[in-house]
Amino acid sequence: ISCELFIYFLPPWPLLFLLVSMAGLGAGLVESCVGTIILTAIKEKQAIAMSKMEVAYGLGALFMPLLSGFLISNNVWALAFLVLGLSSFLLMLVWSRMSFGSLDDLLIRQTNTSGNGKQQAPISFRKHSLLFISLAAAYFFFYGGSEVSIVHFIPSIFAEKWEISNSLATLTVTIYWIGMIIGRLLTGPVSEKLTYHRYLRLINIGGLISLCILAISNTAFAGFVLCFFL
């Protein structure tokens, strides 16, 4: 929250890079924490529950670029950081007053147990479990990096490659997240029917093909279409 508010005042570049890095770290921690809470609180059809959470994230990612494009077109783009900081602050207040039912009791019990001074047994994993966790971590490393990198660089790529205005270039992020929201709405039911590994194989191949075609496309219109499919 404080990082976004400080960025609004447009500090020098070295400090700006530091603040953006801290903001990204905080956003990653929040997303992981929310996902963990949902997986802990919901015992059945977790894939569908996670897809709903990702849809909620996608809606935020959909509307913020629209707002940014509007602010850029009106030469008040720095206000985007102020809006984001204030909305994050309000969100923090709401979350601090929310209750998660049985999950609250679980957290209280864990806090009491850790505060009793008793030595808790370390968690042990089998070799197969460690291999699966390592592969899953590697997958999320590449997926998260590609998703964030692509969505951040696409507006600049469109502005440079096809010489479109900055406000129009930001719409690529909106189109990207429209496709993302539709995909996430379908993630739960489709993955349950296809099985998870077939679903992952399908979306990875489709995403790679879309990205390769985007790299060699010649028109901005085709680029917008490919952003959606990507």
28 belongs to a structural domain = yes
Instruction: Determine the average pLDDT of the residues in 8-15.
Output: 87
110 belongs to a structural domain = no
108 belongs to a structural domain = no
How many domains does the structure of the chain reveal?
1
* Residue of 80, 72, 65, 64 whose CA lies nearest to 167: 72
How far is residue 177 from each of residues 63, 151, 191, measured CA to CA in Å?
9, 9, 20
User: What is the span of the domain harbouring residue 216?
Assistant: 2-102+131-229
Distance CA 78, CA 86 (A): 13
Q: What pTM, to 2 d.p., does this model score?
A: 0.65
12 belongs to a structural domain = yes
pLDDT tens digits along 116-159: 555 555 556 677 788 888 988 898 888 877 777 788 888 898 99
151 belongs to a structural domain = yes
* Residue of 191, 161, 185 whose CA lies nearest to 51: 185
pLDDT at position 209 = 92
pLDDT at position 117 = 54
163 belongs to a structural domain = yes
126 belongs to a structural domain = no
pLDDT at position 91 = 86
Instruction: Determine the average pLDDT of the residues in 63-92.
Output: 84
196 belongs to a structural domain = yes
Q: Round the average pLDDT of the chain to a whole number and report it.
A: 81
Q: Which of 6-20, 52-66, 179-193 has the lowest mean pLDDT?
A: 52-66
